[in-house]
């Protein structure tokens, strides 16, 4: 079942620098929400707070009814969260299949000793995960590359590998960090269809940080716009693109006045 993500008054400070200030919004189960804003708005910092890479200075982050603010990234998959990164974090000399299988470690039974000894329940589970990983690669057009080293593939295909790895975790909440960065127009179009399929077939809530406004307009139900660490507005992509505050944040007040 898709998860609900709720942020209330999230603040993040590094020393005397305020990075996020009183950010709050809710993403409903099964919704696709875009997190947008100019460079330096705090989008990735907020993603890092949600995914456990940063500990917020104050505020609340819940997945369904569970408080997850400050939890380590390794503890968040049990709450249904998976994330991709702007620059895919792959083991480039490992095969594509091996990279995807890394997403299944949270679904293996017992602990490291059982995995290393290959006790029967763990061995069976690893075989099942391998079959599931291969099926994901086939479904996303990467089955042909399963046994190739990841460094033999393009940047765009690396994005697909990382997405398959995240999906192997069977998330209920998926965070996508600039998934269109470095993709061609055709790859962006295919990605849009992929995320639509994921939402409808797998019942997953999706939050996307992205600068590609064509993708945001085509894919999201709502957007939250950040500027200088604050929530500037919340609404549809069309409402955001016509909001004078958003235009000013992106292009500057003088340019916005000239355009008016």
Task: Give the pair of three-digit tokens for residue 79.
Answer: 């709450």
Q: Map residue 92 onto helix, strand or coil.
A: coil
pLDDT in tens, 8-48: 999 999 988 999 999 999 999 999 999 999 988 999 999 99
List, in order of start, the domains of the chain with CATH numbers: 1-80+171-260 (3.40.50.300), 89-168 (no CATH)
Above pLDDT 90, what percent of the chain? Answer: 68
Mean pLDDT throughout 57-86? Answer: 94
User: What local confidence, expressed as pLDDT, does residue 207 receive?
Assistant: 97
Mean pLDDT throughout 211-224? Answer: 93
Mean pLDDT throughout 160-187? Answer: 92
- Higher-pLDDT residue of 211, 57: 57
Q: What is the band of 256 on the pLDDT scale with cuts at 50, 70, 90?
A: very low
Dist CA 61 CA 4 (whole Å): 11
User: What local confidence, expressed as pLDDT, does residue 73 receive?
Assistant: 92
Entry pTM: 0.89
Q: What is the band of 110 on the pLDDT scale with cuts at 50, 70, 90?
A: low
The backbone torsions φ and ψ at residue 178, rounded to the nearest 5 degrees and listed phi first, read 45, 60
Dist CA 206 CA 31 (whole Å): 6
Distances (CA, A) of 194 to 25, 36, 149, 219: 25, 20, 24, 10
- Cβ neighbours of 140 (radius 10 Å): 19
Q: Map residue 246 onto helix, strand or coil.
A: helix
Dist CA 169 CA 159 (whole Å): 16
The backbone torsions φ and ψ at residue 206, rounded to the nearest 5 degrees and listed phi first, read -125, 135
């Amino acid at each position: 079942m898709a998860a609900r993500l709720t942020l209330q008054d999230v603040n993040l400070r590094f020393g005397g620098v305020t990075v996020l200030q009183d950010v709050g919004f809710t993403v409903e189960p099964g919704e696709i929400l875009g997190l947008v804003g100019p460079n330096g708005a705090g989008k990735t910092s907020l993603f890092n707070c949600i995914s456990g890479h940063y500990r917020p200075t104050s505020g609340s982050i819940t997945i369904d009814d569970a408080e997850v603010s400050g939890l380590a990234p390794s503890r968040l998959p049990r709450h249904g969260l998976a994330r991709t990164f702007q620059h895919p974090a792959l083991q480039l000399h490992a095969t594509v299949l091996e990279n995807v299988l890394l997403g299944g470690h949270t679904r293996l039974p017992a602990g490291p000793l059982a995995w290393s000894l290959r006790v029967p329940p763990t061995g069976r589970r690893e075989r099942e995960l391998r079959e599931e990983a291969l099926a994901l690669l086939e479904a996303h057009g990467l089955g042909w590359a399963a046994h190739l080293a990841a460094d033999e593939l393009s940047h765009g295909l690396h994005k697909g590998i990382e997405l398959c790895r995240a999906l192997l975790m069977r998330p209920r909440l998926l965070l996508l960090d600039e998934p269109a960065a470095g993709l061609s127009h055709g790859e962006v179009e295919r990605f849009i269809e992929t995320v639509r399929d994921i939402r409808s077939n797998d019942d997953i809530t999706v939050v996307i940080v992205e600068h590609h406004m064509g993708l945001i307009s085509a894919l999201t139900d709502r957007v939250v716009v950040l500027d200088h660490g604050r929530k500037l507005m919340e609404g549809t992509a069309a409402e955001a693109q016509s909001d004078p505050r958003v235009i000013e944040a992106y292009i500057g007040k003088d340019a916005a006045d000239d355009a008016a």
